[in-house]
Amino acid sequence: MTEEGNVALANFPQPAYPRFEGKWVMVTGAGTGFGATLAERAAAEGANVIVHYNSSAEGAKRTAARIEARGRRAHIVRADLKSWEQIKAAAEEAWEVSGGLDVLVNNVGDIATDQMSWRDIREEVIDRVLAVDIKGTMLMIHEHGERMLARGKGSIVNIASTVVVRGSPRAPQYAAGKYGVIGLTKSYAAAFAPTVRVNAFGPGFMETESTLTREDWLNGRRERVMNQTPMKRVPPPEELAAAALWLATSEASHMTGNFIMCDGGYSMIGA
């Protein structure tokens, strides 16, 4: 996979240690946003990467080009994660190409960005969000986890959200979907132990392209979030990627069924 011209590589704030040297990592929704950053961070740490996308074909190509510019292999697969048949086909392709995945990062999640209030909720949006966030995540864990169990090793990281702590008056179906991801994480962690670890990572607000263009973000929400965040800033996705991927490394070998957050203190919770 190549791209004409120079390939701009992310300048990650943390050092990139070779924690995934010689391993294969699959990241869903890796054409844009946090998924693209996770894919490139994995490559910076030595991984070959399966780049999944559904609608962002050009973005997936750009992500693959950045991975290959780091001297790693990249392979692109497409699947609508609302479809079990497409998930099965993408899993078969990913495992055939890689010879066996070491890490799956379930990053895809529909956050209903076009909905600005619970008053605007529509049944088709509820169905879409829950189909992607819960059904899609569950089937990805199911298909790849089953193969990891047969292989005898593997790690799965599900990208959840701090919304499970604070809720979402804007899009309650999104909060419900991410609560579902926590339930899936715990359930499959118990089912797959001790062979395959399953954990969840909850990023706080990040300045991704989709966030920066949201109507509410441009009309005061960014300032409110920063005022309520002890660290007093909203970071770029590069600042959170290493923390998410840490859950899949040997450094977290005794962690499974866990949920960790990285949000600058925005959602501090008690014991």
3-class secondary structure, 232? coil
Task: Give the separation between CA 144 and CA 169, rounded to whole angstroms.
Answer: 34
Q: Categorize the per-residue pLDDT at 91 as very low, low, confident or very high, splitting at 50, 70 and 90.
A: very high
The string of DSSP codes covering 73-100 is -EEEEE--TT-HHHHHHHHHHHHHHHSS
CA 35 to chain centre: 5
Burial class (CB in 10 A: 0-12, 13-18, 19+), 142: middle
Task: Give the separation between CA 225 and CA 221, rounded to whole angstroms.
Answer: 6
Side by side, the strands of the sheet bearing 259-262 are 74-78, 48-53, 24-27, 103-106, 154-159, 196-203, 259-262
Q: Where in the chain are the domains? A: 24-261
Which residues make Cβ contacts (< 8 Å) with residue 184, sequence separation at least 6?
134, 137, 138, 141, 158
Q: What per-residue confidence (pLDDT) applies to 25?
A: 98
Task: Give the separation between CA 51 and CA 146, rounded to whole angstroms.
Answer: 20
Q: Which residue has the higher pLDDT, 74 or 168?
A: 74
Q: What per-residue confidence (pLDDT) applies to 159?
A: 97
Q: Which residue has the higher pLDDT, 173 or 220?
A: 173
Q: What per-residue confidence (pLDDT) applies to 217?
A: 65
60-74, 119-133, 252-266: which is most confident: 60-74
> At 256, phi and psi to the nearest 5?
-155, 145
Residues annotated as part of the active site: 174
Q: Categorize the per-residue pLDDT at 2 as very low, low, confident or very high, splitting at 50, 70 and 90.
A: very low
Comparing CA positions, the residue from 30, 24, 84 lying closest to residue 54 is: 30
> pLDDT by residue (tens digit) across 34-70?
999 999 999 999 999 999 999 999 999 999 999 999 9
Task: Give the separation between CA 45 and CA 17, rounded to whole angstroms.
Answer: 5
CB atoms within 10 A of CB 118: 12
3-class secondary structure, 101? coil
Instruction: Assign domain 24-261 to a CATH class.
Output: alpha beta
Q: What per-residue confidence (pLDDT) applies to 269?
A: 66
Q: What per-residue confidence (pLDDT) applies to 24?
A: 98
Task: Give the separation between CA 83 and CA 86, rounded to whole angstroms.
Answer: 5
Q: Is residue 271's pLDDT more than 80?
A: no
